[in-house]
Amino acid sequence: MSYYSSICILTWVTLGVLCILVSENDRLSSRDKRILYISYALIALSAFAEWLGLRLDGREGMPSWPLRLAKTTDYILTPLAGGAFIFQLRLRDRVNRLLAWLLGFNAVFQIIAAFTGWMVVIDKQNHYTHGPFYTVYVAIYLLVILLMIVESVLYGKKFRKQNRASLYAIMFLVLVGVALQELTPVCRTAYIAMSIGAALIFIHSSEFAQLSADDHINEQQSLIDTDALTGVGSRFAYEAALREYETAGKLPEGLFVFMIDINGLKKVNDTLGHDAGDELIKGAADCVGQVFEEKGRVFRTGGDEFVVLAEMTVDEADEALSMLKEASDEWKGEKVEELGFAIGCVNASAKPWLSVDQLVREADMAMYAAKDEYYRTHNIQRRII
C-alpha cells in the first residue's frame, strides 16, 4: 500500500468517526446534522477523486476517459471541499453566497473543460498535464481559500475573544496542509489537514454550544432570582436562601431577619393608579437596597413586602433601621409624595433555639404589630387599605 493510500484511508476513517459523533449529538438539529454529513462526504469524495486520479495516471492500455473523468471530478470537488469546510460553520451571509456562486461556476467550467481539453491534456502513455486554462482553476482555488479566511474571521466574531484564537489556529492548520500540498506536490497533506480541521471545528463548535447553553442557563437563573420590577431578589431566590440556612444547620449568631412592608400601597393603587403604585414599590426597593446592599440580601416576597437577611451586630442593625427611616422620609416620587414602612426585626442570637423559618415568622409578627400601630396612629380602617 502506498503512503498516500494510507493517508486517504486515515482521512476517510476520521470523517466516518465524525459522522458517528454528529449522529450522537442531541444538541444538533436535523438540518445542522445534514450540513455536516454533506460537508464530510464532500471532503471524502474529493480525497477519493484525487487519489483515483493519481492511481490512474500513467496506466497504459487504458482508455483516457477514466483519468479525464477522475481529474474533472477532482477539480470540481477540491474547491467544494474547501467550501464544505466553511459550510460547517453554518453562516448565512454575502460571503457564503459568493462562495456558493463561485463553486457553481467552477463546476460548470470543469464540465465544459472535460470536453475541450482546457484543464487536462492526456498523452498516449495516459499521463496527464495541465491544460491552457489551468490558471483559471488556480485563480478559483485561491479565491476559495481567501473566502475561507474571510469567513473564519467573520465566524470568529460570534465567539468570546478567548475562544477565537483556537478557531483561527484550526483554520491555520488547514491552510498549512493545503499550502504544503500545493507547494510540494509529493506532500499530499490537504485532505488529512481538512479532516483533522473538521474534527477540531466540531469540537470547537460543540464547546461553544455548551458555553452558550451555560450562559443561557445563567441568564435564566438570573431572571428567576431577580424581581422584574425592582431588581432585588425574587421570591424564588428568597426561598433558596432560606434553604441554604436550613441546610447549614446552626444559624449564624449575627443573623437578622427584617420584614418590611410598604404602608398605604393599596390606597395609592386605588387613588393614583398602579403606575403610581409601581413607583412606590421601586422607591421602597431603592431605599432598602441603599441601606442593606453591602450588609445583606434583599428580597421582594410579595406586592408590598420585602425581606432582608443580613449578618451584622446589634448596633449595625439599629443604625440600618435609622438609615432606612431617614431614606424613606427623604424619598419623593413623581406621582407619590411619601413613603413609609412597617418593619419587624428579629436577631438569631436573641432566640438561638429558633429555626430560620421560625425567625421569619417572628419577624413577620413583629412587622404586623408595627402595621397595626401605623393604622391606629393614622386612624385608618385596615380593611379599606
Q: State which of 161, 188, 222 marks the end of a domain.
A: 222
3-state secondary structure of 121: strand
Question: How far is 113 from 20, CA to CA, in rounded Å?
Answer: 37
User: 38 is written with which cell numbers?
Assistant: 454533506
CATH number at residue 346: 3.30.70.270
Q: Is residue 191 part of a domain?
A: yes
**Do 4 and 51 touch, CB atoms closer than 8 A?**
yes
Last residue of a domain, one of 184, 201, 222: 222
Question: In 193-304, at which residue ranges do the beta strands (DSSP E only) sit?
Answer: 255-262, 296-300
Residue 94, domain CATH = 1.20.1070.10
pLDDT in the model for residue 162:
64
Half-sphere exposure of 52 (CA within 13 A, CB side): 18
Q: Are residues 64 and 213 in the same domain?
A: yes
Domain of 86?
3-222
Do 163 and 28 fall into the same domain? yes
Residues 345 and 366: their CA atoms lie apart, in Å, by: 7
- Verify that 199 and 96 share a domain, yes or no: yes
Q: What is the rounded radius of gyration, in angstroms, for the C-alpha atoms of the chain?
A: 36
CB atoms within 10 A of CB 156: 17
Please state the pTM of the whole predicted model: 0.62
| Whole-number pLDDT of residue 321 | 93
pLDDT score of 47: 92
Low pLDDT (below 70) residues in the chain: 1, 159-162, 185, 209-216, 218-219, 221-223, 380-385
- Which of residues 170, 192, 222 is at a domain's end? 222
